[in-house]
Amino acid sequence: MTTRPIAVVGASAAGITAAEALRRAGWTGPLTLIGDEPHLPYDRPPLSKQLLHGAWEPARLMLRTAEQLAPLDLDLRLGTRATGLDVATRTLTLDDGQRLACAGVIIATGVAARTLPAADGLTGVFTLRTLDDALALRDRLSGGPRRLVVVGNGVLGCEAAAVARELGHEVTLIGREPVPMAAAVGPGMGELLADEHRARGVRLLTGEVAAFEPAAAADRPVQVDGVRLVDGSRLPADLVLLAIGSEPAVGWLTDPALDTTDGLGCDAYCAAAPGIYAAGDVARWEHPVHGRPLRFEHRMNATEQAMAAARNLVAELTAEAVNGTAEAAGDGAEPPERRPFAPVPYFWSDQYGLKLQAYGLTTGADQVETTVLDRDARRAVALFGRAGRAVGVLACALPPRQLRSLRALVATPVLWEEARDRLREATTVG
Ligand SMILES: Cc1cc2nc3c(=O)[nH]c(=O)nc-3n(C[C@H](O)[C@H](O)[C@H](O)COP(=O)(O)OP(=O)(O)OC[C@H]3O[C@@H](n4cnc5c(N)ncnc54)[C@H](O)[C@@H]3O)c2cc1C
C-alpha cells in the first residue's frame, strides 16, 4: 500500500463528497482533506435562504457530523490553506510551510465572492459566500428595520433581497442589467420575477456603483451610509450586500502545466493533469455531450462531479500501479473504469414562495422562449436553445408532476421544434 496520500483541497460540498467517493472506489491509503475555513463541511444554498432568514441555525447546514466522518479515517486539516501545487511531482505546499507529496490530488476550492475596492475599510458592506459572511449579515439584519442596498441583481442578489424584504427591511436591488437574473433565467422569466420583487416592495434599479459614501461620524472603522451611482444619484444605505459574482479559487495554482483561465481547465474525465483532478465550482471541463468547456456554480454539480473525479482518479492510479509507475491504488478490488463526466446540469433557486428549477444549459443560449402559464401565480417555463437545438429548460412554480419530464427533455440537445412540442405537452398534463 502506498504511503503517499490522496489530498483533496477544499473541504466543502465537492471536497467531502470526493473524500467519500475515494473510499468507495477502493482507496485505502492515507486521505487528507484540506480546507481553509475553520468549519466542518457545510452546505451553502441555505446561507441566502433559511440561514439568512433566521429559520435555520448553522448546525443544520453541516454536511457531515464528526461521527459520520470518522469511518473515512481522514487526515482532516481545517483552517489550512493550500498555497501551491507542483504538478510533475503532485506536491502540495500548505500555508504552514509543509510540503505534501501526494499520490493524487483533487482540487475542490470553489469560488470566492467578488468585491469592490471602493468598499474597502467600510463597515456595513457584506458579501455572501461563507457561513461567517451569512452570520455577519444576519446579525445586522436582526436589529430592526434597515435600508439595504443589494448590488448585483443575479440569482444570489435576488435571493437575499427576497429574504431581507420578508424580514421587513427596505430593500433596493441594483444591477447593470435592466432585468434581474436575465443571464441565468432569460429575459422573459427575469421580467416575471421582477414583477414579484416589485409586488413584494423591493425597489429595482438599473445602474452602476461609482462609490460608497461613509457616515459623517469620525468613528473608526467607518460605517457605510450611502451608495453613489455613476449617474450621480445617491441611495441611502445602512447595509450593502455585494452580490456581483465570483472568482474561481485558482490563484494558488501557478504551475504553468495548469490552465486556470476561468477555473481549472480539465478534460472530459475531470483531469487537469496526470493524477490531478478537479470538481465543483472551480472545475471547467469538456462536457462530452455539449462538446465544449463548461463550468457550473451549482450545488448538484459539486456532488456529481466530485464522485466522477474521485472514481476517475482511483482508476488512473490503479492503471499506473498495473503499469508499475505507482504503488497500488486500492485493495485489489475490481478497479473502476475512467468515465467521461456527462451530467444533465441542474440548479434551483428559492425566492419568496417560488421555486425555480433548471435542467441543462440556460446560459450562452442564442434562443430563449418563455411561456407564462399563470401570471398571478408566476408559473412559467422557458426553453433555451443553441444552434437550432434545445439545450436547457427552466420552470418557475411548476407542479412536481409537470416538472418530472423536463430533465429527459434536454438530457441531450434535441431539435428546437421537437423540444417545444414536448414542453407544451408536459406543461398541459393535468
Ligand atoms: C449563498 C449561496 C447560495 C447558493 N444557492 C444555490 C442554490 O440555490 N442552488 C444551487 O444549485 N446552488 C447554489 N449555490 C451554489 C452552491 O452552493 C455551490 O455550487 C457549491 O457550494 C459548490 O461547492 P464546492 O465544494 O465546489 O465549492 P465551495 O462550496 O465554494 O467550497 C470550496 C471550499 O474550498 C475552500 N478553499 C478555497 N481555496 C482554498 C485553498 N487554497 N486551500 C484550502 N481550501 C480552500 C473554500 O474556502 C471553501 O471552503 C449557492 C451558493 C451560495 C454561496
Q: What is the pLDDT of residues 190-238, one digit of tens each?
A: 999 999 999 999 999 999 999 999 988 656 679 999 999 999 999 999 9
For residue 191, which phi and psi values (nearest 5 degrees)?
Answer: -60, -45
The SS3 of residue 134 is helix
Side-chain-side CA neighbours of 268 within 13 Å: the count stands at 11
- Looking at the predicted structure, is the pLDDT value of residue 8 above 70? yes
The SS3 of residue 377 is coil
- The atom of ligand 1 lying closest to the CA of 348 is 9
Domain range 115-244, its CATH number among 3.40.1160.10, 3.40.50.620, 3.50.50.60, 3.40.50.1360:
3.50.50.60
Q: Residue length, the chain?
A: 430
Q: How far apart, in whole angstroms, are the C-alpha atoms of residue 23 and residue 231?
A: 56
21-57 burial, b at 16+ Cβ within 10 Å, e below that, comes to bbbebbbbbbbbbbbbbebbbbbbbbbbbbbbbeeee
Q: How far apart, in whole angstroms, are the C-alpha atoms of residue 51 and residue 134?
A: 7
- CA 49 / ligand 1 centre spacing (Å): 15
55 grid coordinates: 429559520
Q: Is 219 exposed, middle or buried (0-12, 13-18, 19+ CB in 10 A)?
A: exposed
Rg (the chain; Cα; Å): 23
**At 82, which helix (H) or strand (E)?**
strand 82-86
- Looking at the predicted structure, is the pLDDT value of residue 333 above 80? no
- CA 12 / ligand 1 centre spacing (Å): 7
Q: How confident is the model at residue 99 (pLDDT cuts 50, 70, 90)?
A: very high
- The atom of ligand 1 lying closest to the CA of 160 is 1
- CA 419 / ligand 1 centre spacing (Å): 32
Q: How far apart, in whole angstroms, are the C-alpha atoms of residue 127 and residue 286?
A: 31
Is 276 touching ligand 1 by the criterion CB < 6 Å? no
Is 228 touching ligand 1 by the criterion CB < 6 Å? no
Q: Establish whether domains 6-112+247-322 and 115-244 are of one fold.
A: yes
- CA 178 / ligand 1 centre spacing (Å): 27
The pLDDT, as a whole number, for residue 221 is 74
pLDDT mean across residues, the chain: 94
**Residue 209 contacts by C-beta under 8 Å, 6 or more apart in sequence?**
116, 118, 151, 174, 227, 228, 229, 230
Is 347 touching ligand 1 by the criterion CB < 6 Å? yes
User: With contact defined as beta carbons under 8 Å apart, do 117 and 40 qualify?
Assistant: no
**At 242, which helix (H) or strand (E)?**
strand 239-242
Q: How confident is the model at residue 74 (pLDDT cuts 50, 70, 90)?
A: very high
Q: How confident is the model at residue 331 (pLDDT cuts 50, 70, 90)?
A: low
- Looking at the predicted structure, is the pLDDT value of residue 401 above 60? yes
Assigned CATH for 6-112+247-322? 3.50.50.60
**At 70, which helix (H) or strand (E)?**
none
Helices (H) and strands (E) in the chain, counts: 10, 29
User: With contact defined as beta carbons under 8 Å apart, do 365 and 414 qualify?
Assistant: no
Is 349 touching ligand 1 by the criterion CB < 6 Å? yes
pTM of the model: 0.96
85 grid coordinates: 501545487
- Mean pLDDT for 38-52 is 98
> Could you tell which of 16, 43, 44 is best to mutate to test the pocket of ligand 1, judged by most ligand atoms within 8 Å of the CB?
44
The pLDDT, as a whole number, for residue 327 is 55
User: With contact defined as beta carbons under 8 Å apart, do 268 and 308 qualify?
Assistant: no
Is 303 touching ligand 1 by the criterion CB < 6 Å? no
Is 111 touching ligand 1 by the criterion CB < 6 Å? yes
CA 323 distance to own-chain centroid: 38
pLDDT in tens, 55-71: 999 999 999 999 999 99
171 grid coordinates: 430593500
- Mean pLDDT for 81-87 is 98
Is 33 touching ligand 1 by the criterion CB < 6 Å? no
Domains of the chain, residue spans: 6-112+247-322, 115-244, 353-426
∠ at Cα 144 (140, 146), nearest 5°?
Answer: 65
Is 197 touching ligand 1 by the criterion CB < 6 Å? no
Please name the residue whose Cα sits nearest to atom 26 of ligand 1.
280
The pLDDT, as a whole number, for residue 323 is 76
- CA 216 / ligand 1 centre spacing (Å): 37
> Is the domain covering 353-426 a CATH 3.30.390.30 domain?
yes
Is 280 touching ligand 1 by the criterion CB < 6 Å? yes
